[in-house]
């Protein structure tokens, strides 16, 4: 992977590509007050900075002191984004050292509010915006990106941002945030990342009527025109950045599934909403099985939601169940889905294609509410991925607890305001017996004298490690097997102490170590399936850790 500087000197210093104010305005190269006296004289910085030379540690302390003084989480987000815009090394040092505190700020749940207010908070452009006006010259747009060795691209069209819906070009905060986690959690160098928004318009009337909205103020293009734009973009990525992993992010269901199927065998790509969410959820199910003493194949899962996240989880769970000895048909019969209308069953004539494989026959007649579905199906696990808040009511959680000694209750919808129930509710309504996981973070819960540490099923446990493994192996494709192995690797890192406190995932403080382990598992699949470029290193994990970006200042003179 690339480094931040082109030429190394024999003494260990590097030659800056810029000097003076230009250097201070390049976030990849800027050290701010950490430039030494010698560097300031050599690089034309004398007088452009306060005279005191700071260490990276001192700068980090200053940043966190100021961030913690902010009155709202959104103000903290703006502070951190401003830091990213002026000094990326310091940004990543601060995030890595304070990952548990800052991940909810720079990504879920605060990034949702940041997307909603994107045009009103706008300070500095990051990434590339591609519209229908660029049709026929998308390659030139990609070539305008200053970094030429891009290894990870996150692209969105802004139509399904978290559980917030169509935010158009304002969805750019999602690729920016995702790639920040690729670097902070996985170790992908920031210079090797590229956020992209395909601004194909928006159907959001509030944005169309907002004079400050920064995107194309027209209704979304669809059909052939949309497909042609995406096709040109994908082909341009293949040509301009042939070593890049392309991650599709927050596309609406009707596009997400078909785009993944269209391109997964043509380019190194995946959809995090479908595959990454599935992998982290499967890891949570594996961890929960260590508490319940049940095999995955013994679970009966009811999903509240039948979109890309739900079906993605179902598909990966089915593959994992077949690995435990079930036939595919048996495994699929253990996964049931509720969409916005009713239980997905074989009597329905209004189902989208991605739901039809899970439209099972059942003797209960039409089931139109979740409580009735729980009573009829008697699931062992209830997984919420609908994006709808407060759907797991007291009656539903209590019924899950009546049916199961240790019910699995996963409230995975983001942001926090859309969670199906809170951690406190899940524990209280189940008399402390629920095994709980959420998509957004919840504080520890004390119930009947016992402290629970609710596990966050955060995709940041998965996609940075998958990306690192793909890059390390030079993988030509991303496969479902890689996500299955990633889930296994993540679950294996959960300790008995974690489980005793109700946590189905390891602490986020270990996320870089976790990412390296997942990267090793993913890279092994690439080598075993002959999808890798070049020979396999003798010590694969050592090689992967050596590739991980470390936010440390370089010496320029």
Of the candidates 31, 76, 178, 524, the residue annotated as catalytic is 178
- Strand segments, DSSP code E, in 263-333 are 269-271, 301-304
* Placement of tokens 């590509």 in the chain: 17
Encode burial over 59-78: b for 16+ CB neighbours within 10 A, e otherwise: bbeebbeebeeeeeebebbb
Helix (H), strand (E) at residue 404 = none
* Placement of tokens 């007050």 in the chain: 33
CB 189 within 8 A of CB 4: yes
Gap between the Cα atoms of 287 and 297, Å rounded: 14
Gap between the Cα atoms of 433 and 431, Å rounded: 6
Gap between the Cα atoms of 498 and 453, Å rounded: 8
Residue whose C-alpha is closest to residue 163's, from 110, 112, 205, 199: 112
Is 178 an annotated catalytic residue? Answer: yes
Using alpha carbons, list the distances in angstroms from residue 401 to 43, 290, 407. 66, 18, 6
Residues belonging to the chain: 557
- Written as six digits, the tokens of 299 are 């679970």
Of the candidates 107, 182, 263, 549, the residue annotated as catalytic is 107
Gap between the Cα atoms of 356 and 360, Å rounded: 9
Gap between the Cα atoms of 38 and 51, Å rounded: 12
Is 148 an annotated catalytic residue? Answer: no
Q: Residue 525: helix, strand or coil by DSSP? A: helix
Measured N-to-C along each axis, helices 463-473 and 511-528 cross at an angle, to the nearest 10 degrees, of 50
Question: What amino acid positions are annotated as catalytic residues?
Answer: 107, 178
């Amino acid at each position: 992977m690339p480094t931040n500087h082109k030429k190394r000197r024999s003494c260990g210093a590097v030659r800056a590509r810029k000097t003076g104010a230009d250097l201070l305005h390049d976030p990849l190269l800027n050290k701010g007050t950490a430039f030494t006296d010698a560097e300031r004289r050599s690089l034309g910085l004398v007088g452009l900075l306060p005279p005191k030379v700071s260490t990276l540690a001192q700068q980090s302390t200053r940043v966190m002191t100021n961030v913690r003084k902010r009155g709202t989480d959104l103000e903290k987000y703006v502070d951190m984004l401003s830091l990213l815009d002026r000094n990326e090394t310091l940004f990543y040092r601060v995030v890595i050292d304070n990952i548990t505190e800052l991940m909810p700020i720079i990504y879920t749940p605060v990034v949702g509010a940041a997307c909603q207010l994107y045009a009103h908070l706008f300070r500095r452009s990051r990434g590339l915006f591609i519209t229908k006006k660029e049709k026929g010259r998308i390659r030139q747009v990609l070539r305008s990106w200053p970094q030429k060795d891009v290894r990870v691209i996150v692209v969105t069209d802004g139509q399904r941002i978290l559980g917030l819906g169509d935010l158009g070009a304002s969805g750019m905060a999602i690729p920016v945030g995702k790639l920040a986690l690729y670097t902070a959690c996985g170790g992908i160098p920031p210079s090797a990342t590229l956020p992209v928004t395909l601004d194909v318009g928006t159907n959001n009337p509030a944005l169309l009527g907002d004079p400050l909205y920064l995107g194309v103020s027209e209704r979304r293009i669809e059909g052939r025109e949309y497909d042609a734009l995406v096709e040109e973009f994908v082909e341009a990525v293949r040509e301009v950045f042939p070593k890049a992993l392309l991650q599709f992010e927050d596309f609406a269901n009707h596009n997400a599934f078909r785009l993944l199927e269209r391109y997964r065998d043509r380019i190194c790509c995946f959809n995090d909403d479908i595959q990454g969410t599935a992998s982290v959820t499967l890891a949570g199910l594996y961890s929960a099985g260590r508490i319940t003493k049940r095999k995955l194949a013994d679970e009966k899962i009811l999903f509240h939601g039948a979109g890309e996240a739900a079906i993605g989880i179902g598909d990966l769970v089915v593959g994992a169940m077949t690995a435990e000895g079930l036939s595919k048909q048996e495994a699929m019969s253990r996964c049931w889905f509720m969409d916005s209308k009713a239980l997905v069953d074989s009597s329905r004539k209004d189902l989208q294609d991605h739901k039809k494989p899970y439209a099972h026959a059942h003797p209960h007649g039409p089931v139109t509410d979740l409580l009735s579905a729980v009573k009829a199906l008697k699931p062992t696990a209830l997984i919420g991925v609908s994006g709808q808040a407060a759907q797991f009511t007291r009656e539903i959680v209590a019924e899950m607890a009546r049916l199961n000694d240790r019910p699995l209750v996963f409230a995975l919808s983001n942001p926090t305001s859309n969670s199906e129930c809170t951690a406190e509710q899940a524990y209280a309504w189940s008399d402390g017996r629920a095994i709980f996981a959420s998509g957004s973070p919840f504080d520890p819960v004390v119930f009947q004298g016992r402290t629970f540490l609710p596990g966050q099923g955060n995709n940041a446990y998965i996609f940075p490690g998958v990306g690192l493994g793909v890059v390390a192996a030079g993988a030509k494709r991303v496969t479902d097997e890689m996500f299955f192995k990633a889930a296994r690797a993540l679950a294996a890192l959960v300790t008995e102490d974690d489980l005793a406190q109700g946590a189905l995932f390891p602490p986020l403080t270990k996320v870089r170590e976790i990412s390296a382990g997942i990267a090793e598992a993913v890279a092994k699949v690439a080598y075993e399936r002959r999808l890798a470029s070049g020979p396999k290193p003798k010590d694969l994990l050592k090689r992967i850790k050596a590739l991980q970006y470390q936010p440390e200042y370089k010496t320029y003179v």
